[in-house]
């Protein structure tokens, strides 16, 4: 057994969807969640900057003696996973590979759609891994820069005209390609799963990258006897952004008030490498 915390980070609130999935699987665990909201969105930055920010996130969590790090961010995983794994003394899990495995197993016609950030699509990590699964698999990838920002602003109701307009802008290429499986490659996107599903149709399966990775991490901890045995059941939240806005939107997402467990911290850019 290992009673140290699990460290989770994302560029903002999206990783809370993956954290909730992890909580459901491992309800006794202590989790430390870091949202680098000051630098959100990661998906519009270049690779070098994404790696730099992700290393700062990793350093913050390692200082808190975590037993594993969960990159609950498709952009950071696509661009910085190897760099973080090289620097970390504890296992580091991203959200790409598990989602690809589940999508490859789920598709019946071999046509997989990917919705992700601009940086994730340009990195090509999802597409490369899908191609390595089987040469017959086809990927249709679409960058959706508005999705994560809308979720951060608390805009994810399926009746909201802004949400509907964004869906109409981004999803037609996937429907035209005839995909039967769609990877939600950014952990913000599950908050939009209802409207995405309605647009794509009931025959199209959605794969949440964050939830898929949570299942893989939970299995790893169980298989290696690294689960907590004290029932700590505690989640601490840290944000480099506006604490009030984070608490407000998080309460909408999680349907509970996390403000007693939320701490604001200075952006890493203002305090240097940690």
Residue with tokens 């999680």: 254
Q: Which of 25, 24, 31 is nearest to 10 (CA)?
A: 31
Query: What is the reported pLDDT for 273?
Result: 46
Torsion-angle region of 124 (φ positive above 0: left; ψ -120 to 50: alpha; else: beta): left
- Residue 186 annotated in active site: yes
Give the number of other CB atoms < 10 A from CB of residue 242. 12
**What CA–CA distance (Å, rounded) separates 205 from 208?**
10
Query: What is the reported pLDDT for 145?
Result: 92
**What CA–CA distance (Å, rounded) separates 23 from 215?**
11
Domain spanning 96-209: which CATH class is it, in words?
A: alpha beta
Per the structure block, which two tokens stand in for 149? Answer: 């920002």
How many residues would you count in the chain? 274
Q: Do domains 6-94+211-271 and 96-209 have the same CATH topology?
A: yes
Query: What is the reported pLDDT for 230?
Result: 76
- Residue 144 annotated in active site: no
Query: What is the reported pLDDT for 116?
Result: 97
**CA of 109: how far to CAs of 63, 86, 106, 193, in Å?**
46, 37, 9, 21
Name 102's Cβ contacts closer than 8 Å, sequence gap at least 6: 207, 212
**What CA–CA distance (Å, rounded) separates 226 from 236?**
20
Query: What is the reported pLDDT for 274?
Result: 43
Residue with tokens 């990258």: 209
Q: Which of 93, 68, 78 is nearest to 215 (CA)?
A: 93
Q: Which of 8, 94, 41 is nearest to 241 (CA)?
A: 41
**Domain residue extents for the chain:** 6-94+211-271, 96-209
**What CA–CA distance (Å, rounded) separates 61 from 70?**
10
* CB-neighbour burial class of residue 63 (10 A; exposed 0-12, middle 13-18, buried 19+): exposed
Whole-prediction pTM: 0.93
Full pLDDT tens readout for the chain, 274 residues: 999 999 999 999 999 999 999 999 999 999 999 999 999 999 999 999 999 999 999 999 999 999 999 999 999 999 999 999 999 999 999 999 999 999 999 999 999 999 999 999 999 999 999 999 988 999 999 999 999 999 999 999 999 999 999 999 999 999 999 999 999 999 999 999 999 999 999 999 999 999 999 999 999 999 999 999 877 789 999 999 999 999 999 999 999 999 999 999 999 976 544 4
| From the candidate CATH numbers 3.40.50.1860, 3.40.50.300, 3.20.20.140, 3.40.50.620, the one assigned to the domain spanning 6-94+211-271 | 3.40.50.1860
């Amino acid at each position: 057994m290992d009673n140290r915390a699990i460290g989770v980070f994302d560029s903002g609130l999206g990783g809370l969807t993956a954290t909730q999935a992890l909580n459901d699987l491992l309800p006794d665990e202590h989790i430390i969640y870091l949202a680098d909201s000051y630098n959100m969105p990661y998906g519009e930055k270049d690779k070098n900057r994404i790696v730099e920010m992700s290393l700062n996130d990793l350093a913050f969590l390692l200082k808190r003696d975590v037993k594993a790090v969960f990159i609950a961010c498709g952009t950071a995983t696509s661009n910085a996973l190897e760099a973080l794994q090289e620097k970390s003394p504890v296992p580091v899990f991203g959200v790409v590979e598990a989602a690809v495995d589940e999508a490859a197993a789920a598709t019946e016609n071999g046509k997989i759609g990917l919705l992700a950030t601009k940086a994730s699509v340009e990195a090509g990590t999802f597409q490369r891994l899908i191609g390595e699964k089987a040469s017959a698999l086809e990927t249709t990838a679409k960058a959706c820069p508005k999705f994560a920002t809308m979720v951060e602003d608390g805009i994810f109701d399926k009746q909201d005209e802004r949400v509907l307009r964004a869906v109409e802008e981004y999803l037609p290429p996937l429907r035209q390609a005839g995909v039967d499986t769609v990877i939600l490659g950014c952990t913000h996107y599950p908050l939009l799963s209802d409207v995405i599903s309605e647009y794509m149709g009931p025959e199209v399966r959605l794969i949440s990258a964050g939830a898929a990775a949570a299942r893989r991490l939970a299995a790893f901890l169980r298989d290696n006897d690294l689960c907590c045995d004290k029932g700590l059941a505690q989640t601490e939240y840290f944000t480099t952004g506006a604490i009030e806005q984070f608490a407000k939107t998080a309460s909408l997402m999680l349907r509970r008030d996390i403000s007693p467990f939320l701490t604001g911290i200075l952006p890493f850019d203002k305090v240097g490498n940690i």
